[in-house]
């Protein structure tokens, strides 16, 4: 069996990756809202519930992005790059 080499943690573009994820999630919310008028009662409730989960996810991603931005500003540990 070959040896496994762990990839180093490269945090240099985490802020941008998180921002992209937030933008994609916001676009998904918009698209889902556009389908509400075409959906039945049960489908509408499922879409609304999923969008609520998406909004909570966005809140978490914003917190993570802030943490990453603070880490970037304070200088990353050379051990992690």
Residue 81, pLDDT above cutoff 50 = no
Round to whole Å and give the CA distance between 47 and 3. 46
Is it the case that residue 31 has pLDDT exceeding 60?
yes
Sign of CA dihedral 22, 28, 32, 35: positive
Average the pLDDT over each of 4-8, 24-28, 60-64 and give the range with the smallest value. 4-8
First to last CA, the chain: 28
């Amino acid at each position: 069996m070959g040896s496994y080499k762990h990839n180093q943690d490269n945090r240099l573009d985490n802020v941008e990756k998180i921002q992209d994820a937030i933008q994609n999630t916001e676009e998904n919310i918009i698209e889902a809202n556009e389908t509400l008028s075409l959906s039945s009662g049960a489908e509408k409730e499922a879409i609304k519930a999923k969008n609520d989960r998406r909004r909570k996810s966005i809140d978490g991603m914003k917190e993570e992005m802030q943490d990453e931005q603070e880490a970037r500003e304070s200088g990353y540990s050379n051990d992690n790059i």
